[in-house]
Structure 1
Amino acid sequence: MKTRIAIQGVKASFHEEAAFKYFGDEIETIECESFKKTCDMLKQGKADYVVMAIENSIAGSILPNYNLLRDFRFHIVGEVHLNIHQNLIALPGVKISDIKFVESHPIAIRQCDEFLGEYPDWTIKEGMDTAACAKTIADNKLTNTAAIASSVAAKLYGLNVLESRIETNKKNATRFLILKNDVVEQKNANKASLSFQTGNSVGSLATVLQCFAEQNVNLSKIQSMPVVGRRNEYDFYVDVEWKKQSDYDAAIRKVLKHTVNFSIMGEYIKNEKA
């Protein structure tokens, strides 16, 4: 039986591409219309893993997904980086001069704002997913609409690439997390995702970060999110990397003394950037 991977979006989406990159080709991808649906599928046992985008080098962190990580409490068992190349695609025979509407995922639109700025008359519409917008154009034979999506999506849905590599920054990459319902012991883990809260006193966060620095544990990301319904309180999400397991273990022992609601969301092997 093939490993079942829940992805946000449809076939040929960047999430499916990331799933293939991490797991290989012998998988079954389960299309979901939202990130929450992917989590529901995993929780209900209808999927074995979720592949979830968490940050993009241009658009930044995908904040609603941090809320899902907090609410569902899945375990992060890996990560994968994917270089993202965006293309303007449309039905065969359609020219740029025919375009009145451009549809794509909001983050893809943000990644291409410089290109889109050259066509101020176009109406930009946000869709569920890059590949889903391509599929809509193909299914409905829309001759006045283009999508921003991958060349894989263009090929799958029989569309032409009008303009390739339209992303503003050519070093456009997205980081995806691999989520599982149960803990998987990772030998040689050298990266972890942690969450915690600190007190409100001056320097409380700095004290925690100093614990990592003292043990030669590198802080590769920090993200704060307001605690729902509690003013001036924040959840901190950090990614840390280490060379020696003993350094990491010592840092965690220190950090526990200065935090509340401390959680190890996952310990896994760092994926070198694409």
Structure 2
Amino acid sequence: AFLGPKGSYSHLAARQYAARHFEQFIESGCAKFADIFNQVETGQADYAVVPIENTSSGAINDVYDLLQHTSLSIVGEMTLTIDHCLLVSGTTDLSTINTVYSHPQPFQQCSKFLNRYPHWKIEYTESTSAAMEKVAQAKSPHVAALGSEAGGTLYGLQVLERIEANQRQN
């Protein structure tokens, strides 16, 4: 189980981890961290892949809080390079964007970039994939999502800008 629909960073991490450690992998995306833990606790999933730390924004407190209240334990780890992009549907440019969607973590990790556009409205979503899906459905030159290039491709989005996170090794 992982956070978000296909294309989320958690989905990409789950696929990489599974490719290294398992012969087969059945994907199960969840809307919230609590749902991921619940799937493993109830036997609907054998493993969960969740982020616990990020170089830019530190510990993922929601995950640590859930770990403290469960009998589940960490059985492995991996490092996933996070490269955020500003993703749009169709042709647009930075001057036409007025709303950006993403999970709270990318907003924290890219705050220096975002501070250059104080007029942009920041809208939180449950995952980067949910943000990309919202932008793909809107088909508007006024909205963008923060997410991965690989995820954006799944939703038919184009990279408008590759964003350097606040810390290079994000």
TM over 0.5: yes
Structure 1 stretches of 4+ moved >4 Å:
none
Alignment partner, residue 128 of structure 2: 130
Cα displacement (A) at 1:66? 1.4
**1:159-170 to 2 correspondence within 5 Å?**
159-170=157-168
Give the structure with the larger strand fraction. 1
Gaps (5+ residues) in structure 2? none
Gaps (5+ residues) in structure 1? 1-5, 173-274
Give the structure with the larger helix fraction. 2
- Which of these two proteins has the greater Rg computed from alpha carbons? 1
Alignment partner, residue 17 of structure 2: 22
TM-score for both structures, normalised by structure 1: 0.59
Identity of aligned residues (%): 35
Cα displacement (A) at 1:141? 2.2
After alignment, is 145-154 or 69-78 more displaced? 69-78
Aligned length: 167
Cα displacement (A) at 1:84? 0.5
Cα RMSD of the aligned pairs, angstroms, is 1.3
Alignment partner, residue 78 of structure 1: 76
Deviations 1:212-257 (A, max 9, x none): xxxxxxxxxxxxxxxxxxxxxxxxxxxxxxxxxxxxxxxxxxxxxx
8 Å CA contact retained: 2:136, 2:157: yes
Alignment partner, residue 47 of structure 1: 45
2:7 aligns with one of 5, 12, 16: 12
Q: Residue 158 of structure 1: SS of its match in structure 2?
A: coil
- The one-letter amino acid paired with 1:18 is A
8 Å CA contact retained: 1:88, 1:166: no
Deviations 1:107-149 (A, max 9, x none): 1001111111111111111111112100111123233110000
- The one-letter amino acid paired with 1:11 is K
Alignment partner, residue 153 of structure 1: 151
Q: Distance in 1 between matches of 2:135 and 2:108?
A: 20
Deviations 1:168-205 (A, max 9, x none): 22211xxxxxxxxxxxxxxxxxxxxxxxxxxxxxxxxx
- The one-letter amino acid paired with 2:159 is V
- The one-letter amino acid paired with 1:110 is Q
